């Protein structure tokens, strides 16, 4: 019994590293499961928004579906009905509606 206690006894310098190791491990898992996929999704959305052109159908984060009539520097003019034109920010577009 004294031999086991002797091996687990130390000067305390290694205990800080072993105490922080689980937190580093949990952060690593969190990074690979949450942060990386989110960054990839944001990058894909940004690329999709830069490739949008007049005539594309888009969906906004408010659920509005419309066809782009004009592309501006920071916004789009979309037509959601026959005589309904809306100006929406580029950041409000969440996806491109695929043609049926």
Shared domain for 43 and 59, answered yes or no, is no
- Rounded to an integer, what is the distance from CA 74 to the centroid of its chain? 20
Per-residue pLDDT, 45: 94
Decide if 52 contacts 71 (C-beta within 8 A).
yes
For 69-81, write each residue's pLDDT tens digit: 999 999 999 999 9
Q: How many domains does the chain have?
A: 2
Segments in the chain below pLDDT 70: 1-14, 99-100
Q: Which domain holds residue 68?
A: 53-100
Shared domain for 66 and 38, answered yes or no, is no
3 state SS for the chain: CHHHHHHHCCCCHHHHHHHHHHHHHHHHHHHHHHHHHHHHHHHHHHHHHHCCCCCCEEEECCCCEEEEEEECCCEEEEEEECCEEEEEEHHHEEEECCCC
Shared domain for 33 and 68, answered yes or no, is no
b/e 7-16 (16+ beta carbons within 10 angstroms → b): eeeeeeeeee
- What CATH number is associated with residue 93? 2.30.30
For 42-51, write each residue's pLDDT tens digit: 999 999 999 9
Shared domain for 17 and 42, answered yes or no, is yes
């Amino acid at each position: 019994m004294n031999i086991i206690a002797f091996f687990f006894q130390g000067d305390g310098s290694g205990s800080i590293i072993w105490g922080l190791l689980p937190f580093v491990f949990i952060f690593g898992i969190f990074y690979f499961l949450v942060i990386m996929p989110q960054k990839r999704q944001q990058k894909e959305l940004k690329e999709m928004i830069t490739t949008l052109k007049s005539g594309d159908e888009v969906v906004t984060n408010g659920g509005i579906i419309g066809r782009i009539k004009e592309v501006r520097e920071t916004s789009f003019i979309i037509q959601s009905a026959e005589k309904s034109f809306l100006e929406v920010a580029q950041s409000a577009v969440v996806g491109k509606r695929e043609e049926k």
